[in-house]
Amino acid sequence: MRQWALIVAPLISLLVILFADLDPQNRNVTYCFAIALLMAIWWITEAIPLAVTALLPVALFPLFGVVDGKTISAMYFNHLIFLFIGGFLMAFAMERWNLHRRIALRILLVVGISPGRILLGFMLATSFLSMWMSNTATAMMMVPIALSIIIKLEESLGEKKMGKYAIGLLLGIAYSASIGGVATLVGTPPNLSFARIVSIIFPEMTEISFADWFIFALPVTVLLFVMAWLILYAMYKPKKSWKKVHIDQFREEYQALGKAKPEEKIVLILFVILAFLWIFRSGFTIQSFEIPGWSQLFKNPSYINDGTVAIFIALLLFILPSKSEKGERLMNWKTARKIPWNIVLLFGGGFALAQGFVESGLSVWFGEQMAGLANVEPIVLTFANVTMMSFLTELTSNTATTEMILPILSGLSTTIEVNPLLLMIPATLAASLAFMLPVATPPNAIIFGTNRIQVKDMVKTGILLNLAGIIVATLVMYFWGVLVFDIDVSVFPDWAAAVG
Q: What is the pLDDT of residues 338-364, one digit of tens each?
A: 888 887 888 788 888 888 888 898 877
**Res 9 pLDDT > 80:** yes
Counting Cβ atoms within 10 Å, is residue 252 exposed (0-12), middle (13-18) or buried (19+)? exposed
Q: Residues of 158-184 as b/e, b for ≥16 C-beta within 10 angstroms?
A: eeebbbebbbbbbbbbbbbbbbbbbbb
pLDDT value, residue 72? 94
Residues 279 and 140 in one domain: yes
Q: What is the pLDDT of residues 218-274, one digit of tens each?
A: 999 999 999 999 999 999 988 777 766 677 777 887 888 888 889 999 999 998 898
Residues 92 and 37 in one domain: no
pLDDT value, residue 235? 93
pLDDT value, residue 395? 64
Rounded mean pLDDT, 396-414? 82
For residue 209, being part of any structural domain is answered with yes
Residues 29 and 99 in one domain: no
Residues 201 and 306 in one domain: yes
For residue 368, being part of any structural domain is answered with no
For residue 140, being part of any structural domain is answered with yes
Residues 276 and 185 in one domain: yes
Residue ending a domain, among 309, 336, 363, is: 336
Measure the CA–CA gap between 121 and 202, rounded to whole angstroms: 41
Q: Residue 411: pLDDT band by 50, 70, 90 thresholds?
A: confident
Residues 295 and 189 in one domain: yes
Number of domains in the chain: 2
Residues 263 and 310 in one domain: yes
Residues 92 and 214 in one domain: yes
Q: What is the pLDDT of residues 412-447, one digit of tens each?
A: 888 888 899 999 999 999 989 889 888 777 788 888
Q: Of 248, 303, 317, 14, give the one whose Cα is nearest residue 109.
A: 248
Residues 254 and 330 in one domain: yes
**Res 69 pLDDT > 90:** yes
Structural contact between residues 299 and 62, judged by C-beta atoms closer than 8 angstroms: no
Q: Which amino acid, one-letter code, is at 298?
A: F
Is the pLDDT higher at 227 or at 384?
227
Q: What is the pLDDT of residues 81-100, one digit of tens each?
A: 888 888 888 888 988 898 87
Domain that holds residue 30: 1-48
Q: Of 217, 219, 218, 190, give the one whose Cα is nearest residue 442.
A: 190
For residue 428, being part of any structural domain is answered with no
Q: Which amino acid, one-letter code, is at 323?
A: K
Q: What is the pLDDT of residues 301-342, one digit of tens each?
A: 889 888 898 899 999 999 999 998 888 999 999 989 988 888
Q: What is the pLDDT of residues 18-39, one digit of tens each?
A: 999 999 999 999 999 999 899 8
Residues 143 and 269 in one domain: yes
Residues 87 and 31 in one domain: no
For residue 497, being part of any structural domain is answered with no
For residue 366, being part of any structural domain is answered with no
Mean pLDDT across the chain: 86
The H-or-E segment that residue 291 falls in is: strand 289-292
Rounded mean pLDDT, 371-380? 76
Residue ending a domain, among 312, 336, 360, is: 336
Q: Residue 470: pLDDT band by 50, 70, 90 thresholds?
A: very high
Residue ending a domain, among 336, 365, 389, is: 336
For residue 347, being part of any structural domain is answered with no
pLDDT value, residue 489? 85
Q: Residue 71 in 3-state DSSP?
A: helix
Residues 38 and 88 in one domain: no
**Res 286 pLDDT > 60:** no
For residue 123, being part of any structural domain is answered with yes
pLDDT value, residue 137? 74
